[in-house]
Amino acid sequence: MADPAMLSGALTVTVHRSGGVNEFGDRQPGTAHHLHGCIVAPGGSNESRQRGETVTSRAVVYAPCGADVRADDQLTIGGLRYEVIGTPSRWASPASGTAYGVEIQAERVTG
């Protein structure tokens, strides 16, 4: 059965960004913002029983041009929290430079 976060059509995805730590090592408040008009595609999943039952689910988010997403952000997709994996890919035409959008790899580990 497909993950309920993998819905068809345009979605709003929430980007969560850490506030980092201050000079004393205390966590600082983070920020959140929304990406409207995203398409989310399932990226598959796998299961490991070596340390209990761990399931890793992946998703690919296709966001509009200019989407503010970094490699260390987290995403909420359909109510579930995912980690951004790697640097988001910003697609553009090599001939004209026209921007087409941003591809974001995400992963969620449970169990």
pTM above 0.85, yes or no: no
- What is the pLDDT of the chain when averaged over all its residues? 89
Contacts for 39 with CB less than 8 Å, ≥ 6 apart: 9, 10, 11, 61, 62
DSSP state of 71: T
For the chain, which domains are there?
11-110 (2.40.10)
The rounded distance, in Å, linking the Cα atoms of 93 and 21 is 39
Q: Which of 1-5, 6-10, 84-88 has the highest mean pLDDT?
A: 84-88
b/e code 22-48 from CB counts within 10 Å (16+ = b): eeeeeeeeeeeeebeebbbeebeeeee
Q: Span 9-38, mean pLDDT? A: 92
- Give the model's pLDDT for residue 53: 85
Is 6's pLDDT higher than 70? no
